[in-house]
Structure 1
Amino acid sequence: MNFRAPMLLATALCLCATQAAASLRCDHGLVSEGDNKLEVEMKCGEPVNASVTRPATDEYGNPVQGSATVEHWMYGPQNGMYRYLRFIDGTLVEIDSKRN
């Protein structure tokens, strides 16, 4: 009996599942990684808390090459669950959920 084919299929399915983008259901729609801040705010409203880290600058005040604006937004609690969103240069790159 050949066990190689089922193992390859199981491995491929696991890889596909881990590659899927995270999403968050809000009152006015679903947001996913890759959405911009405006889309997220329109669908989820104002975050409960937000912080902004500006890009690094050189001695002349110019942005250092490769640096970015990073924002962290928090929503919740909703049924004890907090949602943490991270944006890089205005694009949603990470959605994390934690129960306190």
Structure 2
Amino acid sequence: MPFALPLFLLSLVAFACSVQASSTHRCGSALVSLEASTGEVRQKCGEPASASLVGYKEVLDDYGFRHEVQVEEWIYGPTNGMYHFLRFEGNRLRQIDSQRGR
């Protein structure tokens, strides 16, 4: 059992390196940031390789009212072996992740 902890820590580090979160995504010479609209991302990056409806999420607006927004995930790539996953909630970019392709 003395090797169990180092092996676990090594696998944890390897997993953490396989997926990276970011606040910006580069599309050629353009850059999109969190909170960008789907229209802005489409204009700067073009059509994604894949787009899928993930579901719906209930959110509170600035006035305290609850409403549902659509959640989508767009995938761009591979670009130099990297896939980029963009998650939109209510047509706003909320999360950007990257992962090296296999």
TM-score, normalization by structure 2: 0.64
The aligned residue for residue 89 of structure 1 is 90
Q: Cα RMSD between the aligned structures?
A: 1.8
Identity across the alignment (%):
44
Q: Does residue 27 of structure 1 match 2:28?
A: yes
Structure 2 letter corresponding to 1:34: E
- Whether contact under 8 Å (1:75, 1:82) holds in the other structure is yes
Deviations 1:6-50 (A, max 9, x none): xxxxxxxxxxxxxxx610111251000010000000000000000
Distance apart, 1:96 and its partner CA? 0.3
Give the counterpart letter for 2:24 in structure 1: S
Letter in 2 for 1:39: E
Runs of 4+ in 1 over 3 A off after TM superposition: 53-56
Return the letter of the residue paired with 1:51: S
1:1-100 pair list within 5 angstroms: 22-55=23-56, 65-100=66-101
Paired residues in the alignment total 72
Stretches of structure 2 that go unaligned for 5 or more consecutive residues are: 1-21, 58-65
Q: In structure 1, list runs of 5 or more residues that go unmatched.
A: 1-20, 57-64
Distance in 2 (alpha carbons) for counterparts of 1:44 and 1:28: 9
Partners of 1:53 and 1:28 in 2: how far apart? 29
Structure with the higher strand share, 1 or 2: 2
Give the match's secondary structure for 1:41: helix
Q: Deviations over 1:41-64 (max 9, x none)?
A: 0000000000014548xxxxxxxx
Query: Closer, same or farther in 2 for the Cα pair 1:97/1:54, shift >3 Å?
Result: closer
